[in-house]
Amino acid sequence: MSKRSKEKLSTDGGDGLRSNPFAALSNEGLPEKSLQVANKQPQKVSQKPKGRVEVRREKAGRGGKTVTTLSAFPSHLPLKDLEAMTLELKKTCACGGTLKGRVIELQGDVVDLVMAELEKRSFEPVRAGG
């Protein structure tokens, strides 16, 4: 058997194999404003209102439990969007809830939280009932 040499071999390829494809490039001739444009933050675009939504607090016929209902959603909203909105509202309001037909029911009196969240989503929330 042959003895292995104690010298370690370099595996980095040596100086001859290193090349930088960008070494010959420079920023000479480029306008200076192009760098500033990339740093600008996007402007907020005001969204068109998605429609009117009735928000009401109900207690009757529910065994004394208070429920916040959201109804009268625009018909152009698909049920998948309403299901996703129900899940997000339940998380935001930290309560239980469900979607029955096209009506979202949230457990508890969370009208103020729901009104603020709907305004963020560019709906026009309206308090209905007394």
Residue 111 and residue 68: Cα distance in Å, rounded? Answer: 6
Q: Which residues of the chain have pLDDT under 70?
A: 1-5, 9-10, 12-18, 33-46, 130
Which pLDDT does position 67 carry in this prediction?
95
Which pLDDT does position 48 carry in this prediction?
74
Which pLDDT does position 130 carry in this prediction?
65
Which pLDDT does position 84 carry in this prediction?
94
SS (H, E, C) the chain: CCCCCCCCCCCCCCHHHCCCCCCCCCCCCCCCHHHHHHHCCCCCCCCCCCCEEEEEEECCCCCCCCEEEEECCCCCCCHHHHHHHHHHHHHHHCCCEEEECCEEEEECCCHHHHHHHHHHCCCEEEECCC
